[in-house]
Structure 1
Amino acid sequence: MSASGYLFADELPGRTLRVDGEEYLYCSGTSYLGISQDAGFRERLLEGMGRYGTNYSSSRNSNLQLQVFDEIERFFAAYTGAEAALTFSSGLLAGQVLVQALLGRGHFIYGPGTHPAVWRDTTDAPDAGQVFEEWVGRLLQEMMYRPEQHIVLVCNSLDPLHARNHSFGWLAALPPQKQYTLVIDDSHGFGVTGAEGAGIYGQLPMVPYVRPIVVSSLGKAFGIPAGVILGDARLIAELRENPFFGGASPAVPAYLFAFLQSQEVYKAARKRLFENVARFKQRLDRPEMFHFFDDFPVFYTDRHALCPYLQKHKVLISSFRYPTPAHDPITRVILNSLHTPDDMQHLTELINSFVPA
C-alpha cells in the first residue's frame, strides 16, 4: 500500500487481483457481470475488431453509416420498451448531451446523489446524504406552489452507494396541471435490475403528464465503453441533430457488435450473479450488518473497520470517503458473477468472524 493509502495494481481485477505478488479476493468495482474477464465475450470482441477494427474515427452524422449502430439502438428500444434509443461513446457524454438539450425548457430539480454526468454545472451537486424518500416527500409538497409549468426532475434509479432501491409510484401523485420531464440515471441498474436486466424504463408507471427519459452508462454491468439514452422517438430524433452528438466520436463498433452477439453470455452471467447474491445472504450470520435489496450485488455497511479486517485476510472490498475527503467513508461488499461458491463461503466465514470494535 502506498503512503496515500491506495493499492496499486497493473492488471485488471476480476474474481481476484494480484497486488505486490499477493492474490486477493476482489469484492469491489462495478463490473457486476464480470464481462471484462469473460472469455466468451472476448472472443466476440475479437471477431468484432476483425470486422470493424479497433476504433471508428468518424462522426455518427457522416455520409457513411455503419449498420451496427442502428442494430444496437433498435435492440435497446425493444429490450427496454422505449420508443427509441441513441448510443454514445460514454455515459458521461450521453448525460451531458441530454441535459444541455433540455436547458431552458423547464425548472431543474435534482434528486440526491445524482452523478456529474447529468449536472448542468457544478452548482447542481446534490446532497449525497439526503434520503430519496424524504426528497420525494418534499418535492410533492413543493410542486403544489411552484409557479413553473414545466419541471425537469433528475434522479437515480437506485442508490448504489448505500444499496437502496427507489420506487417511482409517486409520479402519479405529481400535480397534473404541470408538465414534467423525468431524467433517470440507470447506470448501476441497467443490466442487472428489471426483467432480464432491462433496467428501470419498463418499470416506470405511465403518467400522461410525465415524459420519462433514461440515461445510462453501459460500462458497468454490460462492460462496454459506451452510453445510451432511452426515450420517445421525437426526443431521440432531436438529439441526433444535436451538434454534441454529431461532433463526438461514437462508441467503438467492435464492442457494440460483441454486445449484440453475447446475449447468452449476459444471461448466464446474470444467473451466476443472482446465485452469488443468494449464497452470500444465506450464509451471513448477521445480515443486519448490511443494507441491501433483492438481487442487487452491493451490500453497504457502516462498520468501516470491516475493510482493513478483510484486507488483512486477502479480501479487497470497496471503502472510500465520498463525495469529498471530508465525508464519512462508504464501505461496501460488491459481488460479481465471476465469484465462485467457494468464494462466497470464504467471504462469509470471514465476515461472520469479524468482531466490530
Structure 2
Amino acid sequence: MSSFDEELRLDLQARRVQNRYRQRYNMSTPQAVNVTVDQRAYLAFCNNDYLGLANHPASIVSMQQVAAQYGVGSGASHLVYGHSKIHHRLEKALAAFTDRERALLFSTGYMANLGVISALTGRGDTIYEDRLNHASLIDAGLLSQASVKRYRHNDLHQLESLLSADQAKRKLVVVDGVFSMDGDLAPLPELSALCSKYQAQLMVDDAHGFGVLGKQGGGCAEHFKLTVEQLPILVGTLGKSFGSFGAFVAGSDALIETLIQVARTYIYTTALPPAVAAATSTTLTLLQEESWRRDKLNDVIRYFRQGAKKLGLPLIPLLPSQPMTPIQPILLGDDALVMSVAATLREQSILVGAIRPPTVPEGTARLRITLNVHHDQSDIDKLLDALANAIPATYLKSSMGET
C-alpha cells in the first residue's frame, strides 16, 4: 500500500470511529414506500419523491416514447446542438408554471446553484447566506470569489445589520425556500423586503418547496405570493416532487440570457437526455392537476406530527403560520445514538436517514424522516412504534409549537 493510500485509509478509519462514515445500499426496486434493499423488503421514509410521481405510468410512457425517438443521451451541451425541442418545451412550461418570463434547464440542482452564483457575483460583491443553506449554495459562494457572509438561521435582524453596513457593488441574498435538513421555511416576504430596502437581489433554492407548497404546487413563491420583482432568482430541482431528474432556474429574460452566456455549469456540460425532459413535462402537468396528492400528503404529515407529539419525540417546532412539509427530523444530537437508532429501525425493516455533521451542525444529529403521499396510517403507526421503542426515554420530551 502506498503512503498516499495509507493516509486515506487512516482518514476513513477516523470517520468510522467518529460515526461519520457513509455507506451505500443496493436497491432493486423503484423508489417507493415499499422497497427492496440488499434483497430485503423495507418500509421507506427516506426518499424525496414526496408526491409519488417517480413511478407514474404516464411519465414512464413519455420517457419510453421519446427515448425511442431521440435515443438515450442528448449527445452534446445545450449550446452545441444538444438542445432539443423537448428541452425547449419543458423550459416554456416551467416558465409558465413559475409565472416567470423564462426558465433554463440544468443537469443537477448542485450545478444550477454553482452556475447562477458564479455567473452573477465575483470580486467586489457580497453574498449573504443562511447558515443552514444547502451545501451547493455554500460551495457556490466560496467558489465565486465574492465576499461571503453567513447569518444565523432565519435571523432577519443579523442579516439587516450586515446589509446596512455593506457598500458592495452587488449584494446577493441566497437562501433555501424549505431547508433540506430541518423542513422549515425561510421568511421570504421579510427577506424580499430587506433586499428591496438595501438594493440586494434575492435568490431562492426551492428544491423541497415545489410540488408540496402552493395550491398548484408552485412552491414558496406561490405560497407567499411573491412576484418576480420580489423574488427575481428562483431555482428548482426536478428529482424531488417532480419525480424526475435535473434542475431549472426561472426569472426574467435578462437573467436567463445572462446565464446562457456566462454560467459555466450550463455551458460546459451535456444536456439532460430528451427522454428525461419529456417525463418531467408529464409529471409537471400531473403535479399541477392532481391537487389531491398535496391534500393527502398534508394529511400524512399531520398524522405523523400528532402521533410524534403524543410520544414526546423531539420534533422541530413549527410557528403557527408555517405550513407543514414532508421533511420531519427527529433531533437526537448524538451521532452514535442516531446511528444506533437507525440500525435498530433497519432491523425492523424500516428505513430512515441518519444525518450527522458535517451535513448538519455539530450537536444536531438527527433522523431525517421524509413522508410520501403513498404512506398510510398503518405505515406511520409502525414507524412511530419503532421510534418510541428505539429512542431512549431520556430523549423523549414534549414537542414545542403547533402540530
Q: Sort the TM-score into its range (normalised by shorter chain).
A: 0.7 to 0.9
Q: CA deviation at 1:321?
A: 1.1
Preserved contact between residue 286 and residue 352 of structure 1 (Cα < 8 Å): yes
CA distance in 2, matches of 1:148, 1:127: 12
2:4 aligned residue: none
User: CA 1:222 to 1:211, structure 2 compared with 1: closer, same or farther past 3 Å?
Assistant: closer
Preserved contact between residue 7 and residue 19 of structure 1 (Cα < 8 Å): no
Preserved contact between residue 156 and residue 184 of structure 1 (Cα < 8 Å): yes
Scaled by the length of structure 1, the TM-score of the pair is: 0.85
Q: CA deviation at 1:157?
A: 0.9
Q: Which sits farther off after the overlay, 93-102 or 315-324?
A: 315-324
CA distance in 2, matches of 1:280, 1:192: 16
CA distance in 2, matches of 1:125, 1:291: 31
Q: What's the % identity of the aligned pairs?
A: 22
Give the counterpart of 1:188 among 187, 194, 208.
Answer: 208
Q: What are the superposed Cα offsets for residues 27-63 of structure 1, whole Å, 9 maximum, x if unpaired? A: 1132222333333432222122123221111232246
Residue type at the aligned position of 1:344: I
1:9 aligned residue: 26
CA distance in 1, matches of 2:283, 2:197: 45
Q: CA deviation at 1:317?
A: 1.0
| 2:198 maps to 1:163 | no
Scaled by the length of structure 2, the TM-score of the pair is: 0.76
Give the counterpart of 1:121 among 142, 150, 166.
Answer: 142
User: CA 1:170 to 1:50, structure 2 compared with 1: closer, same or farther past 3 Å?
Assistant: same
1:300 aligned residue: 329
Q: Which sits farther off after the overlay, 185-194 or 36-45?
A: 36-45
CA distance in 1, matches of 2:391, 2:116: 47
Bigger relative contact order, structure 1 or 2 (CA pairs below 8 A, ≥6 apart): 1
User: CA 1:243 to 1:336, structure 2 compared with 1: closer, same or farther past 3 Å?
Assistant: closer
Preserved contact between residue 111 and residue 126 of structure 1 (Cα < 8 Å): no
Gaps of 5+ in 2: 1-15, 333-337, 394-403
Q: What are the superposed Cα offsets for residues 141-166 of structure 1, whole Å, 9 maximum, x if unpaired? A: 22222222531111111222122222
Q: CA deviation at 1:177?
A: 6.2
Q: Which sits farther off after the overlay, 251-260 or 274-283?
A: 274-283
2:172 aligned residue: 152
1:343 aligned residue: 379
CA distance in 2, matches of 1:241, 1:226: 20
CA distance in 2, matches of 1:189, 1:325: 20
Q: CA deviation at 1:302?
A: 1.8
Q: CA deviation at 1:288?
A: 5.5
2:351 aligned residue: 316
Q: Which sits farther off after the overlay, 118-127 or 313-322?
A: 118-127
More helix by share: 2
Q: Which sits farther off after the overlay, 14-23 or 80-89?
A: 14-23
Give the counterpart of 1:261 among 260, 282, 292.
Answer: 282
User: CA 1:7 to 1:88, structure 2 compared with 1: closer, same or farther past 3 Å?
Assistant: closer
Give the counterpart of 2:298 among 264, 274, 277.
Answer: 274
CA distance in 2, matches of 1:64, 1:8: 33
Give the counterpart of 2:194 among 166, 174, 177.
Answer: 174
CA distance in 1, matches of 2:195, 2:63: 48
User: CA 1:131 to 1:300, structure 2 compared with 1: closer, same or farther past 3 Å?
Assistant: farther
| 2:155 maps to 1:102 | no
Residue type at the aligned position of 1:188: H
Preserved contact between residue 130 and residue 153 of structure 2 (Cα < 8 Å): yes
CA distance in 2, matches of 1:176, 1:324: 31
Q: How many residues align?
A: 352
2:244 aligned residue: 224
Q: Which sits farther off after the overlay, 106-115 or 239-248?
A: 239-248
2:3 aligned residue: none
Residue type at the aligned position of 2:342: C
Q: What are the superposed Cα offsets for residues 93-151 of structure 1, whole Å, 9 maximum, x if unpaired? A: 222221121123732222222234331336999999x75222x2201122222222531
User: CA 1:127 to 1:341, structure 2 compared with 1: closer, same or farther past 3 Å?
Assistant: farther
Q: CA deviation at 1:223?
A: 2.2
CA distance in 2, matches of 1:126, 1:249: 30
Preserved contact between residue 110 and residue 154 of structure 1 (Cα < 8 Å): yes
